[in-house]
Amino acid sequence: MCQDREGGVFVASNKPAAEMGWWVGRILRKSGKFYSIEILYSENGTNSPMIWSLRDCFVEFDTMADAFDYLKARGVSMAAA
């Protein structure tokens, strides 16, 4: 979807992360195979302000609402959002 677009692209994890659980973030930049992602929400409330992730670990969206809808459709509780 975004390939080389940086900044403003919202993403959601495609599976829960070890400490954070499911998360929503925004791509800040790309460096090689890795994407710098600002974390905006994490299921377990253990927000790290930024993570580096490979492309196959997240799904891209044009809006934050779409990213949250993606998690809700997977049964993720959005109580902390």
Quick one: tokens of 32? 């090689």
Question: What is the residue extent of each domain of the chain?
Answer: 10-73
Residues 6+ apart with CB under 8 A from 46: 19, 20
Q: Say what the pTM is.
A: 0.84
Helices (H) and strands (E) in the chain, counts: 1, 5
| Sign of the CA dihedral with 18 first, then 22, 26, and 27 last | positive
pLDDT (tens place) for every residue of the chain, 81 residues total: 444 455 679 999 999 988 889 999 999 999 999 999 999 999 988 767 899 999 999 999 999 999 999 999 999 987 655
